[in-house]
Amino acid sequence: MDLAQRLSVFGMPDAAAIALLTFGWVLIGVAVERGVGGRASVSVLMADYRREWMRIFVDREPRILDGNILGNLRHGTTFFASATLIALGGGLALIGNTERLLGLAEDFRLEDAPALVWDIKLLLILLFMANALLKFIWAHRLFGYCAVVMAAVPNDRSDAAFSRAAQAAELNISAARSFNRGLRSIYFALGSAAWLLGPEALIAATLLTVAVLWRREFASQSRAVLLQGRPPT
């Protein structure tokens, strides 16, 4: 069986499922980072709190608390980067060695497809995981930049101090944005695993993933708490 015959297993339902997955990933990303119709997401609200943190940071003495908080943020990105790297390595090891998947497919009476088809489906998961890894690594580095700029903030209420603190806040926000993008990639990697069960399962998983992310960003209890006493933008 040549390559064209193997790929012929994919049909219009598969194309529609992949298109919906891509559209959902892009759409929820834009909504989370920009808000929808004047309705701020949790990520947007947290950006305001990060700016307020840096404004208060100027007057805090000593600044050990701020260093500990930033250190915890960096540890979080390190943990997720390490876990993603392990998952990525496991997935790469499975590609090209899909005999177990073929056996599992027979047990569950799934589609009788060649090994190349299963490899492609696994590759979709790995693409999301690779994107997550790169985002986590970049977030870790940005948090490092933020730490250096925070250390350069003078110990007075001068314009230079607030200007430097504002720079640190924007770096902190950029790092958090990259971290959140990595998390969303993990969500969609888990959702794309449903493609192993067929295009209908992938469509359902995509809709569920978008719904979960939407609720956590726009309709969660944590968002209601953050809206209380929201810092000025």
DSSP string for residues in 102-156: HHHHHHTT-----HHHHHHHHHHHHHHHHHHHHHHHHHHHHHHHHHHHHHTS-SS
Taking the alpha carbons of 25, 28, 30, 32 in that order, is the dihedral positive or negative? negative
Q: What is the pLDDT of residue 107?
A: 46
Is residue 16 predicted with pLDDT exceeding 60? yes
CA–CA separation, 200 vs 17, rounded Å? 7
Q: What is the pLDDT of residue 108?
A: 44
CA–CA separation, 173 vs 39, rounded Å? 19
Contact predicate 117/6, CB 8 Å: yes
Q: For 51-63, what is each residue's pLDDT tens digit?
A: 999 999 999 988 9
Q: pLDDT-based confidence at 98, cuts 50/70/90?
A: low
Q: What is the pLDDT of residue 167?
A: 97
* Whole-structure pTM value: 0.89
Is residue 233 predicted with pLDDT exceeding 60? yes
| DSSP state letter for 193 | G
Residue/partner pairs of 85-89 with CB below 8 Å, 24 or more apart = 85/133, 87/129, 88/126, 88/129, 88/130, 88/133
Q: What is the pLDDT of residue 121?
A: 87
Is residue 96 predicted with pLDDT exceeding 70? no
> What mean pLDDT comes out for the span 124-144?
97
Q: What is the pLDDT of residue 32?
A: 97
Q: What is the pLDDT of residue 109?
A: 47
Q: For 179-216, what is each residue's pLDDT tens digit?
A: 999 999 999 999 999 998 889 999 999 999 999 999 99
Q: Which residue, 123, 133, 134, is CA-closest to 193?
A: 123
Q: What is the pLDDT of residue 90?
A: 85
> What mean pLDDT comes out for the span 107-124?
68
Q: What is the pLDDT of residue 125?
A: 94
Q: What residue type is 69 in one-letter code?
A: I
Taking the alpha carbons of 79, 83, 89, 91 in that order, is the dihedral positive or negative? negative
> What mean pLDDT comes out for the span 163-189?
97
**Mean pLDDT over the full length of the chain:** 89
Contact predicate 91/85, CB 8 Å: no
- Residue recorded with tokens 């998947």: 101
